[in-house]
Amino acid sequence: MLATLFTRFPETARRRLAGCLILCAMLAVVADLSGLPVSSSVAGVGYWSAALLLWPGLSRRNRLQALVLLLVGAVCLAVSARLGAEMAVTRLLSGNTGLLSMLVAVSFLSLVSRPGAEQEESLPRGAGAVASTLGAVHLFGSVINLSSVFIIGDRLARRNKVSREQAIVLIRGFTAAAFWSPFFGAMAVSLSVAPDAELSMLWLMSMPLALLAMSLTCWQLWRPSSARQGIAPITDFVGYPLHVGGIGLPALLALAVLAWHQLWPGLSILAVITLLAPVFSLGVLVAGKRSPLAGVGQLTSDRLPQMGNELALFLAAGVLAYGLESLLSVWEGSLPLQHFGATAASLTYLAIVLLSLVGIHPIVCITLAGSVLVPLEPDHTLLALVFLSSWALGTASGPLSGINLAFQGRYGIDSFSIMRWNLSYLVLMSLCVIAAIWLLASVLGIG
């Protein structure tokens, strides 16, 4: 039946309708955040309908992973129902709708922040080009996410190929933004599990980690011994220019999020970003005498229908999270941990990273960890640092992460080769992350 429906319903029409449904679902969440009487199930129906329309265009890997998550979640729900737990259909429909709405809201920023405007400018070379490329992909990636990598990567590519060194810089520079960017999927997922995390305290730890990640990358490429590891001489590196003007928008947005959260502390960071990003983007379009309606139309027909993979994965993860939560609520056993301190946080980080190396997406690990750790009443700031760090390093090193698979498809670089190139980076940065976990636990007074 579904195959017949998809055959008779042209792909272009399906994608356009899916884009409209995604936009309407986000607006329903915005209305709910604004105090209007809109049920959360409205957004859930919109997102699930859009995911169904986009399902045929999803990669085989993502379809399989989503189906596995749905199956495991359904089994958990069935077992918990048999043990006496009640199932709320509204909760089942609306799982992760807040997170998805934040990602949709962030996509508005692509209308006003586009690197690569200086197409005629010559590209820098040498050691300084490594630093400028890291800075450019990190700052633009922190706002407009994955599209920034390919805008910059396409500019650097020769015959649709990028070098090993360029791939290392682009992937590490981009994924390091997961440590701190409030517009990253990592932050959305982390704050959905740890909504009471204190952002200012979190940034005091995660921003230095991002800076360390980029500094380590520069050092590994600059040092003379790198040639013995197959890395080309640094003098041959062709990079991307970073201008002072490119720093303004990411900095302004980050400050705006923090200021809004301080003025309205009752709103979570997730809610603040969902409200702020579209308002900011449309305001910039109006100020620049560009049509907001044209911008929204472009977003609905182009960018939003590209979110099929995110929709399927996050909605399925929501079912898994609800299933695990229901099962744990009626489970009469006890957890092997009795306290979430620095040791437990470090072990949780290492477990998520190791699972990323074998191909499990961080959102699955974070969802599972969140469900298991909730009974311990962990400090949300410490928990968020664990999740952000494992996402930042797990996606850079995991051979089946979205960015590494995208690099393989676009530039022909084997994702397992990328994993090997980043293993030393993963080990050294993991030592820094564990040190940061222990430092934060000490500052928070957690034993």
- Over the stretch 435-445, which tens digit does the pLDDT of each residue have? 999 999 999 99
Does pLDDT of 209 surpass 90?
A: yes
Q: What is the pLDDT of residue 133?
A: 92
List, as own/partner pairs, every contact residues 148-156 make where C-beta atoms lie below 8 angstroms and the sequence separation is at least 24, other chains included. 148/115, 148/174, 149/174, 149/403, 149/406, 150/406, 150/410, 151/114, 151/115, 151/116, 152/115, 152/116, 152/240, 153/410, 153/411, 155/116, 155/119, 155/123, 155/240, 156/123, 156/238, 156/239, 156/240
Does pLDDT of 159 surpass 70?
A: no
Q: What is the pLDDT of residue 379?
A: 93
What does the longest C-alpha to C-alpha distance in the chain come to? 67
Does pLDDT of 120 surpass 60?
A: no
Q: Please give the average per-residue pLDDT across 87-101, as a whole number.
A: 81
For residues 189 and 196, what is the distance between their CA atoms, to the nearest angstrom? 13
Contacts of 161 (CB under 8 A, 6+ apart): 411, 412
Residue whose entry in the numeric block shows the structure tokens 């030592």: 431
Q: Please give the average per-residue pLDDT across 299-306, as a whole number.
A: 86
The answer to whether the beta carbons of residues 147 and 141 sit under 8 Å apart is: no
Q: What is the pLDDT of residue 71?
A: 92
- 411 vs 181: which has the higher pLDDT: 181
For residues 100 and 261, what is the distance between their CA atoms, to the nearest angstrom? 20
Which of 16-20, 113-117, 239-243, 303-307 ranks highest by mean pLDDT? 16-20
Q: What is the pLDDT of residue 244?
A: 63
Q: Please give the average per-residue pLDDT across 149-178, as a whole number.
A: 84
Q: Please give the average per-residue pLDDT across 293-306, as a whole number.
A: 86
Does pLDDT of 5 surpass 60?
A: no
Q: Which of 154, 204, 148, 207 is nearest to 177 (CA)?
A: 207
Q: What is the pLDDT of residue 50?
A: 93
3-state helix, strand, coil split of the chain in percent (to 5) is 75, 0, 20
Q: What is the pLDDT of residue 391?
A: 94
Q: What is the pLDDT of residue 290?
A: 84
Q: Please give the average per-residue pLDDT across 179-205, as a whole number.
A: 88
Distance from CA of residue 94 to its chain's centroid? 19
Residue 88 phi/psi, 5-degree rounding, is -100, 115
Number of domains in the chain: 1
Q: Please give the average per-residue pLDDT across 61-65, as a whole number.
A: 79
- 396 vs 112: which has the higher pLDDT: 396
Q: What is the pLDDT of residue 174?
A: 93
Q: Please give the average per-residue pLDDT across 53-71, as a whole number.
A: 84
Contacts of 265 (CB under 8 A, 6+ apart): none
What DSSP state is assigned to residue 233?
P
Which of 113-117, 157-161, 358-362 ranks highest by mean pLDDT? 358-362
Does pLDDT of 419 surpass 70?
A: yes
For residues 73 and 51, what is the distance between their CA atoms, to the nearest angstrom? 17
- Residue 144: pLDDT band (50, 70, 90) is low
Does pLDDT of 1 surpass 80?
A: no
User: Over pLDDT 90: what percentage of the chain?
Assistant: 28
* Mean pLDDT for the chain overall: 83
Specify whether the backbone of 310 is left (phi greater than 0), alpha (psi in -120 to 50) or beta. alpha
Q: Which of 211, 152, 200 is nearest to 177 (CA)?
A: 211
Q: What is the pLDDT of residue 124?
A: 83
Does pLDDT of 247 surpass 70?
A: no
For residue 36, count CB atoms less than 10 angstroms from its CB and return exposed for 0-12, middle for 13-18, buried for 19 or more: exposed
Q: Please give the average per-residue pLDDT across 72-81, as a whole number.
A: 88
Q: Please give the average per-residue pLDDT across 412-426, as a whole number.
A: 89
Q: Within 10 Å of residue 431's Cβ, how many Cβ atoms? A: 9
CA distances from 262 to 32, 64, 142, 255 (A): 21, 42, 21, 11
Q: Which of 160, 103, 137 is nearest to 306 (CA)?
A: 103
Q: What is the pLDDT of residue 381?
A: 95
Residues spanned by the domain of 217: 2-443
For residues 406 and 400, what is the distance between their CA atoms, to the nearest angstrom? 9
Q: What is the DSSP string of 50-77?
A: HHHHHGGGS-HHHHHHHHHHHHHHHHHH
CA distances from 327 to 93, 383, 422 (A): 18, 22, 37
- 207 vs 267: which has the higher pLDDT: 207
Q: What pLDDT, in 10s, does the model give residues 375-399?
A: 788 999 999 999 999 999 999 998 8
- Residue 115: pLDDT band (50, 70, 90) is low
Residue 158 phi/psi, 5-degree rounding, is -115, 120
Does pLDDT of 235 surpass 80?
A: no
